[in-house]
């Protein structure tokens, strides 16, 4: 099954399980979403539980907050993460703070699903990875799958979670990534990372579409005699520090890889955690391989996106200083 | 409320004498030429996309009267804050064809340096402000530019566009409200082409029309047959003249139809009824205008083939030149983030330029 198919599978599974779950957004009904993530959902569950909205992200998220506060389980689709900003206020001021500001009287369990990331010739507005804004907002959880099985298991956990979750779907690998996905019930807990491959010389941390790029880079590094351990945190908030620190303590080196602009990214946060809690184990500097501190380009996208040669270069930096 | 639909050219090409704006023969020919050129350009560009020569395209098929007719009363010094479906305005205002075609290819001759997807033009030469994908953002910006012109005492008029979907955006409200409060010289064109990708316009609002919304903002709202170029021109001329004389903003709804799919990544047959498409085909704006011109003795086959042949030639030449140009140089990636690059940008640029080995081959296709 593709990663995209696993998203659809998770939505259907939870909609069958829990009749409070509703799915809405732009083009999610008859068309089944511009990427096809909600294909067949309106046909199976009807227009009450899967519907197209007017073209307003602010409206989509504002109404989702209201629904969640009232007690149903909204899953809002934002067509591209790049178009989420009209809803920024509703996300960071409202959904994120509802529990805290009401002293726990009101809560906001909802999921915002949105495709993110580059590598699809989408230019500025169909490519960005803006997870850092949301990771920086207390009260929000931020989840990113990199495999089909994780997409299903993490999405089901996100829907069942009692807090608002941003579920970021790496669109470049929607169809190119294929893997086994368990039928029916399949839950992957939030806050538990995954060791993608074991190694002894350097820990590479990556999420979403960057995981497969790092796997290729690890093959390349192996040719140079370096054994790379790859960790996919799977959720950025809550973040599995243990799995990262344990690995870094073993390898003594750390390279973080992400698509977002290099500065002030979630990768910078990981570098800080490693520096704070594992400095005495480090045998070289922590490296960050990110996008550049520029808007996402069109024609030069292939240079902007971290690729195998840049990840290999980043790994090299952890050995040389 | 003026939400009745204004039509001037009948199906058979006849025009009501009292409503005909009586443009000169030369002007009528120029307008017709622009409409035909726009359609040829749209067809050619989509073919280029299908052949893999460019990454994306989005047509204005069926909406030629709506956007060319509305732009027609604007003067050279006036400004546009366009959406992404008004390519004919560039041709009407005499934009350099190379500037248009280079943008599709995102090559080193592109005015925006290959930074944006195809059809997101930026053409300062014709006062056509850089196009953005997020729906509606141009509406409040146009209102602001119009406020600025008023503050400076200039007599510039601003025209901005959105679709039926765009009327649901936050900026639609903000833009119309500000323009009305400050009586800014701004004309808002809603091209109601009935669809926002797969969502019908009846799903955007329960208002009886898009034009009706003007009343709540305190500005005139007019609904016009968007496939009738004379009607669109007449309504917009009035709005532009009023704005220039200090009479404030106007909302114009052009009722039209998106004859093609949303973009090169969409397949409208999956969600649209073929009968609907067929019925709008009978109302084709170019065909209708042609009949009008024919009745006036302005159009003949010769004129048609002259337009087609000369433009196809010009377009092919421009495409050939664009194909021959390289991508922008790698170092340009770091230009224009700020006037002066930061220390981090300089470091990142130098690092990139110093890399060895093959570049990424992981870029996939645009799936929407
Ligand atoms: C804020 C925002 N949300 C979603 C999108 C994705 N999107 C691109 S075009 C479109 C439909 C626009 O419809 P309409 O405003 O009617 O314009 P049309 O395409 O019909 O000209 C959508 C939803 C976007 N570009 N911006
Ligand atoms: Mg539309």
Asked if residue B346 has pLDDT above 80, the reply is: yes
Cβ contacts from A onto B, under 8 A: 167
**Is residue B67 flagged as an active site residue?**
no
Asked if residue B358 has pLDDT above 90, the reply is: no
Residues A212 and A164 in one domain: no
For ligand 1, the distance from its centroid to the CA atom of residue B165, given in whole angstroms, is: 6
Report, as ranges of residue numbers, the positions in chain A whose pLDDT lies below 50: none
Q: Which residues contact B362 (CB under 8 A, 6 or more apart)?
A: A119, A172, A213, A302, A305, A307
- CATH fourth-level superfamily of B2-324: Thiamin diphosphate (ThDP)-binding fold, Pyr/PP domains (3.40.50.970)
Cβ distance of A86 and B360 shorter than 8 Å = no
C-alpha distance from residue A5 to each of A26, A173, B107, B333, B352 (Å): 19, 11, 36, 35, 36
Contact map slice: A 59-118 vs B, CB within 8 A: 59, 80, 82-83, 85-86
The confidence score (pLDDT) of residue B362 equals 67
- The residues with which A51 forms a beta bridge, in sequence order, are A24
The confidence score (pLDDT) of residue A297 equals 97
In a domain, A109, yes or no: yes
**A122 interface with B at CB cutoff 8 Å:** yes
The average confidence (pLDDT) of chain B is 96
Residues A223 and A92 in one domain: no
Instruction: For A1-55, write each residue's pLDDT tens digit.
Output: 999 999 999 999 999 999 999 999 999 999 999 999 999 999 999 999 999 999 9
Choose the closest CB to A309 out of B116, B270, B355: B355
The confidence score (pLDDT) of residue B304 equals 98
Choose the closest CB to B333 out of A54, A175, A300: A300
Instruction: For B234-244, write each residue's pLDDT tens digit.
Output: 999 999 999 99
Q: Return the beta strands (E) in A15-86 as ranges.
A: 21-25, 50-52, 73-77
Active-site residue set of A? 126
What CATH number is given to the structural domain containing A64? 3.40.50.970
pTM (2 decimals)?
Answer: 0.96
Residue range B21-36: mean pLDDT, rounded: 98
Residues A118 and A242 in one domain: no
In a domain, A20, yes or no: yes
Residues A198 and A168 in one domain: no
Lowest mean pLDDT among A37-41, B12-16, B83-87: B12-16
Residues A160 and A11 in one domain: yes
Residues A15 and A154 in one domain: yes
The confidence score (pLDDT) of residue B361 equals 65
Residues A107 and A21 in one domain: yes
The confidence score (pLDDT) of residue B3 equals 61
The confidence score (pLDDT) of residue B103 equals 98
Asked if residue B282 has pLDDT above 60, the reply is: yes
Residues A136 and A202 in one domain: no
Q: What percent of chain B has a predicted confidence (pLDDT) above 90?
A: 94
Residue of A nearest to B343 (CA): A293
Q: φ and ψ at A31, to 5 degrees?
A: -70, -25
Residues A37 and A148 in one domain: yes
In a domain, A178, yes or no: no
Asked if residue B262 has pLDDT above 70, the reply is: yes
Residues A132 and A269 in one domain: no
The confidence score (pLDDT) of residue B4 equals 76
Instruction: For B167-190, write each residue's pLDDT tens digit.
Output: 999 999 999 999 999 999 999 999
Q: Work out which ligand 1 atom sits closest to the CA atom of B201.
A: 16
In a domain, A182, yes or no: no
In a domain, A181, yes or no: no
Q: How many domains does chain A have?
A: 2
Rg of chain A over all Cα atoms, to the nearest angstrom:
19
The confidence score (pLDDT) of residue B365 equals 67
* B76 neighbors B93 (Cβ within 8 angstroms): yes
The confidence score (pLDDT) of residue B130 equals 98
pLDDT band at B366 (very low <50, low <70, confident <90, very high): low
The confidence score (pLDDT) of residue A263 equals 98
Residues A167 and A232 in one domain: no
In a domain, A187, yes or no: no
Parent domain of A32 = 3-173
Asked if residue B1 has pLDDT above 60, the reply is: no
The confidence score (pLDDT) of residue A34 equals 96
Asked if residue B368 has pLDDT above 60, the reply is: no
Q: In the sheet where A111-116 sits, what is the strand order?
A: A50-52, A21-25, A73-77, A111-116, A165-170, A141-143, A235-237
The Cα–Cα gap between A265 and A197 comes to: 24
* Listed residues A140, A173, A206: the one ending a domain: A173
Instruction: For B111-132, write each residue's pLDDT tens digit.
Output: 999 999 999 999 999 999 999 9
In a domain, A180, yes or no: no
Q: φ and ψ at A85, to 5 degrees?
A: -65, -30
What is the complex's ipTM, to 2 decimals? 0.95
């Amino acid at each position: 099954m593709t990663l995209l198919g696993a998203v659809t599978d998770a939505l259907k599974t939870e909609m069958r399980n829990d009749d409070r779950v509703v799915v809405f957004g732009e083009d999610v009904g008859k068309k089944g979403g511009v990427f096809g993530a909600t294909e067949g959902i309106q046909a199976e569950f009807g227009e009450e539980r899967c519907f197209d909205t007017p073209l307003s992200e602010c409206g989509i998220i504002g109404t989702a907050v209201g629904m969640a506060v009232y007690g149903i389980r909204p899953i809002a689709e934002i067509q591209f993460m790049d178009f989420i900003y009209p809803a920024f206020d509703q996300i960071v001021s409202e959904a994120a703070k509802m529990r805290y500001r009401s002293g726990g009287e009101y809560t906001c369990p909802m999921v915002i699903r949105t495709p993110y990331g580059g590598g699809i010739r989408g230019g500025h507005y169909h490519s960005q990875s803006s997870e850092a804004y949301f990771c920086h907002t207390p009260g929000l959880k931020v989840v990113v799958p990199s495999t089909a099985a994780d997409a299903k298991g993490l999405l089901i956990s996100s829907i069942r979670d009692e807090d608002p979750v941003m579920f970021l779907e790496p669109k470049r690998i929607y169809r190119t990534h294929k893997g086994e996905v368990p039928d029916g019930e399949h839950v992957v807990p939030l806050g538990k990372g995954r060791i993608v491959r074991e190694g002894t010389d350097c820990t590479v941390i990556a999420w979403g579409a960057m995981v497969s790029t790092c796997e290729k880079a690890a093959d390349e590094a192996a040719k140079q005699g370096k054994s790379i351990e790859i960790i996919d945190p799977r959720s950025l908030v809550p973040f599995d520090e243990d799995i990262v620190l344990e690995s870094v303590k073993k390898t003594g080196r750390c390279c973080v890889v992400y698509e977002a602009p290099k500065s002030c990214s979630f990768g910078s946060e990981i570098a800080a955690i490693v520096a704070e809690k594992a400095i005495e184990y480090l045998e070289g500097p922590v490296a960050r391989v990110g996008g550049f501190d520029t808007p996402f380009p069109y024609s030069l996208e292939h240079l902007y996106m971290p690729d195998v040669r840049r990840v290999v270069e980043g790994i090299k930096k952890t050995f040389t200083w | 409320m003026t939400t009745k639909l204004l039509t001037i050219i009948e199906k058979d090409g006849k025009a009501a004498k009292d409503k005909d704006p009586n443009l000169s023969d030369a002007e009528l020919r120029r307008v017709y030429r622009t409409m035909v050129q726009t359609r040829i350009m749209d067809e050619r560009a989509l073919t280029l996309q299908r052949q893999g020569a460019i990454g994306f395209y989005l047509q204005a098929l069926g909406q030629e009267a709506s956007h060319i007719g509305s732009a027609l009363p604007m003067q050279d010094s006036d400004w546009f804050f366009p959406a992404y479906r008004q390519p004919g305005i560039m041709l009407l205002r005499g934009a350099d064809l190379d500037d248009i075609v280079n943008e599709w290819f995102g090559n080193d001759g592109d005015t925006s340096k290959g930074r944006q997807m195809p059809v997101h033009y930026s053409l300062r030469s014709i006062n056509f402000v850089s196009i953005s994908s997020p729906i509606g953002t141009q509406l409040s910006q146009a209102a602001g530019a119009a406020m600025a012109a008023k503050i400076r005492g200039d007599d510039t008029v601003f025209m901005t566009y959105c679709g039926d979907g765009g009327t649901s955006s936050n900026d639609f409200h903000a833009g119309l409200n500000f323009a009305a409060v400050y009586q800014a010289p701004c004309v808002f064109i809603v091209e109601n082409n009935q669809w926002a990708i797969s969502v019908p316009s009846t799903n955007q609002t329960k208002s009886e029309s898009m034009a009706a919304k003007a009343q709540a903002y305190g500005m005139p709202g007019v609904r016009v047959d968007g496939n009738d170029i004379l009607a669109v021109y007449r309504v917009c001329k009035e709005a532009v003249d009023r704005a220039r004389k200090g009479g404030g903003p106007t909302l114009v709804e052009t009722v039209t139809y998106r004859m093609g799919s949303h973009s090169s990544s969409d397949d409208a047959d999956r969600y649209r009824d073929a009968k609907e498409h067929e019925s709008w085909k009978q109302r084709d704006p170019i065909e209708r205008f042609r009949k009008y011109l024919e009745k006036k003795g302005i159009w003949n086959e010769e004129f048609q083939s002259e337009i087609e042949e000369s433009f196809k030639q010009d377009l092919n030449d421009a495409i050939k030149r664009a194909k021959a140009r390289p991508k922008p140089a790698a170092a340009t990636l770091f230009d224009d983030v700020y006037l002066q690059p930061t220390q981090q940008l300089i470091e990142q640029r130098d690092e990139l330029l110093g890399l060895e080995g093959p570049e990424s081959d992981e870029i996939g296709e645009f799936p929407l």
